[in-house]
């Protein structure tokens, strides 16, 4: 598996945990050895793993959480300069169209989230055709 494919796999695992309301899987996806940050739409930045995981537990256990779908996933690898990769994509959560960036760090042999930012998109993006095995759709 290429590094880009491995990053897209980690990104897809994030959206799968989100869509399925799986707090344990979500927790396992976040880095432990570096500082983490998450900016949910309309929220202030959450700093530190404990605050980020607590926010996801609250979101994922909410009984009326809207469905999530992600598309147009694109990877930028910064390795070997730094063990980092950035995935940008678009999201639909309920009726809201969002733009998102998910920053991954290569930690103990796997790609794990260390930063996420999602917010409203100014306009509807064109849906890009993904190569086989690329992109995220839930």
Q: Give residue 133's pLDDT band: very low, low, confident or very high (50, 70, 90).
A: very low
pLDDT digit string, tens, across residues 31-90:
999 999 999 999 999 999 999 999 999 999 887 777 899 999 999 999 788 899 999 999
| Structure confidence at residue 129 (pLDDT) | 61
Q: Measured between alpha carbons, how far is 43 from 45 in angstroms, rounded to an integer?
A: 6
**pTM surpassing 0.95?**
no
């Amino acid at each position: 598996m290429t590094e880009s494919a491995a990053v897209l796999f980690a990104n897809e695992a994030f959206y799968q945990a989100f869509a399925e309301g799986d707090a344990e899987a979500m927790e396992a996806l976040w880095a432990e050895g570096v500082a983490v940050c998450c900016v949910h739409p309309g929220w202030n930045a959450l700093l530190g793993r404990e605050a980020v995981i607590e926010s996801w537990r609250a979101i994922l256990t909410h009984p009326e959480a809207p469905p999530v779908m992600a598309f147009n996933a694109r990877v930028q690898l910064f390795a070997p300069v730094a063990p980092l990769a950035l995935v940008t994509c678009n999201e639909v959560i309920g009726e809201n169209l969002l733009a998102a960036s998910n920053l991954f760090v290569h930690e103990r042999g796997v790609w794990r989230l260390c930063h996420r930012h999602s917010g409203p998109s100014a306009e509807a993006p064109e849906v890009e055709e993904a190569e086989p095995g690329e992109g995220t759709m839930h």
